[in-house]
Structure 1
Amino acid sequence: MSLFEDTYRTIENCAEGIFRDKGSKFIAYAYPFTHEDQLKDILSEVRALHPKARHFCWAYRISPDRNVYRLNDDGEPSGTAGRPILNVLLSQDVTNIIIVVVRYFGGTLLGVPGLINAYKTATQEVLAVLDIVEKTVNDHYKIEFDYLVMNDVMRIIKEENITVGKQVFDNSCYMEVEVRKMQVNSVFARFDKIDNCTLTYLRTI
């Protein structure tokens, strides 16, 4: 992601695609995926669906800047499964996604080129049935302010179309918000003009 880019392509739903070649069957599953902690549960779910399958190969890509990824050939010849899956994710520029491809061996060896094509095509098949959505890269902040300036704060929230999460209103107020990365400087400039109002960075999603 470049310095001035604040959008990324991802998926919001799960889907399934299939490719067959010389009796072998390759079933691809796509899942929204934002953290490595999800990996174990997803693989367990797919293995439970296909207890007799021979290979469960996968690749994932996470983070809005698209620079975190892993892949696994799960017993297939090195570079014939996980890498082709990942290459499709790279070519279609999607992130926060995992693809698991289940292979049932059909009795005929496909060879290295055949395996690469099969895992690539199965991945393309599942992505073809998914709606790929564009999301903005948002910074999360907490805003702390006096109750007396609530109207000023809420005016900025509304005019800048800021998403509000957790909020507490008392003599001292607290609010967690999402600000689109490209808006951060302009939004900060507006909040800076309000007395007794501070913003603290939490994280980026």
Structure 2
Amino acid sequence: MSNFPENPDESDSYLTLAGKSAGVFKDQGSKFLYFAFPIKSEDDIKAHLADLRKNYFDATHHCFAWILGKDGQFFRANDDGEPNHSAGDPILGQIRSHRLTNVLIVIVRYFGGTKLGVSGLIKAYKTAASLAIEENVVVREWMKISVRLKFPYPAMNEVMKVVKGHELEVISQEMELDCRMVLSLREGLAEKVLGKLNEIDGIVINPD
């Protein structure tokens, strides 16, 4: 079952973060440096974690959580030496409560000398993760597919009517006697758009 409620008009979309955010939350002497990133793959995650470990090599803990996939089906939480479920899970919980995916949040802790206890740690990591999201911008992204077209030049006007009418992105185009075009469109519009394109004389969709 999906982690995110689906609206029929938005079933091919997901919520994520627009860019990186960073800041510091302090609690009883400990500093919690928070970082949030939009991500597309586990390679992105590894790269961000490696950069933070290099830049903050002297920190006590690098705790993190991430979610990937339109329906949030891939995820992980890591306590990095903190008591079990006191760091990674609160971070993961904040990503889920904001219905986000394709997001990584890392909290880098510098111990300040006063133990916070499990409940105190949970609250601190939850707060830091929440700030990382609140100080960012949540955006809606659409699942896209690419479609290749081949059509005679006289059909150009009809093709462009479909492109403009559905606000499709033209990735590339070759304007010759036989025109070629690559379009990017929302998954949810694919059936409707392809139906319109198939009505155009001489068009070939995804030619060999």
TM range (shorter): 0.7 to 0.9
- Counterparts of residues 130-149 of structure 1 (less than 5 Å): 130-149=136-155
The alignment-based identity, stated in percent, is 37
Distance 2:38 2:88 in 1: 17
Structure 2 unaligned residues grouped into runs of 5+: none
Q: Deviations over 1:9-43 (max 9, x none)?
A: 21122111322222111111011111111122211
Distance 1:143 1:131 in 2: 36
- Counterparts of residues 104-123 of structure 1 (less than 5 Å): 104-123=110-129
Q: Does residue 177 in structure 1 map to residue 183 in structure 2?
A: yes
Structure 1 unaligned residues grouped into runs of 5+: 201-205
- Range with bigger deviation, 83-92 or 159-168: 159-168
3-state SS in 1 of match to 2:108: strand
TM-score, normalized by length of structure 1?
0.88
TM-score, normalized by length of structure 2?
0.87
| Residue type at the aligned position of 2:70 | P
- RMSD over aligned Cα atoms: 1.9
3-state SS in 1 of match to 2:201: coil
| Residue type at the aligned position of 1:69 | F
- Range with bigger deviation, 64-73 or 22-31: 64-73
**Are the equivalent residues in 2 in contact too, given 1:23–1:108 (CA < 8 A)?**
yes
| Residue type at the aligned position of 1:54 | T
Distance 1:71 1:145 in 2: 50
Distance 1:132 1:67 in 2: 19
Match of 2:86 in 1: 80
Q: How many residues align?
A: 200
Q: Deviations over 1:120-146 (max 9, x none)?
A: 110011111111122333333222333
- Counterparts of residues 5-44 of structure 1 (less than 5 Å): 5-44=11-50
> CA 1:80–1:161 in 2, change beyond 3 Å: closer, same or farther?
same
